[in-house]
Amino acid sequence: MLFDPFDAVLGTTSKVRLLRALVPLSQPLSGREAARRAGVSHIAQRALEELASIRVLNRDQSGGQYLYTFNREHALAPAIEQMFEAEGRFTDGIIQRLRDVIDRTKNVETAVVFGSAARGEAKPSSDLDVLVLVQSPRARDDMYTALVDASPSLVSAFGVRLSPVVLTVDRFQRQHAEGDPFVAEVLRDARRISGRPIDELIDG
């Protein structure tokens, strides 16, 4: 009997990621597909077996392979679902807090998250990289000050350290024309927070 069942349910990063991938779905997934969607390695098979052994996941055999679904009849199912719903609201809350700060400043063309957070690779120690493009040097200074001032509240509410970069559109366009790898990274990874799509600003 499990007196502390969440130790078994959430005891490893692989289990959390697998549940995050499976909880929203109704269709069964093979172990390989579940691991791919969860972004975990071959060790996922053991995690899937452990979750199935405590009945948090259903496991059915079909065509020579096991298929997995989240067991919505499990006593902990509502709590697990609510946990991932809260996680989604957590991320949305960070973005909304940033959007509120950015939208209060005039002459903003676009704002994006880039780097590890935009790629889904952020770790607890990662900063939140934000780029804001503005029309003028005055707007650049105002925007940077606003983001720096907002940073302590983001740390307090979300445990997120902000790493802001604020540039004029002209400066960003020049860096792009010069082949700046920073600009290439931003264009590859950008997740828009506010304003126009960033690629629309490349050609003026």
Predicted confidence (pLDDT) per residue in 10-22, tens digit: 999 999 999 999 9
Nearest Cα neighbor of 67 from 50, 47, 52, 53 is 52
Predicted local confidence at residue 203, as pLDDT: 67
CA 150 vs. chain centroid, Å, equals 20
User: Looking at the predicted structure, is the pLDDT value of residue 30 above 60?
Assistant: yes
- pLDDT tens-digit series, residues 118-146: 887 878 788 899 999 999 999 999 999 99
Over residues 36-44, the mean pLDDT reads 85
Predicted local confidence at residue 31, as pLDDT: 93
Mean pLDDT of the chain: 92
Domains in the chain and their CATH numbers? 5-74 (1.10.10.10), 88-201 (3.30.460.10)
Output the pTM of the full model.
0.78
Give the C-alpha distances (Å, rounded to integers) separating 198 from 90, 105, 123. 25, 18, 25
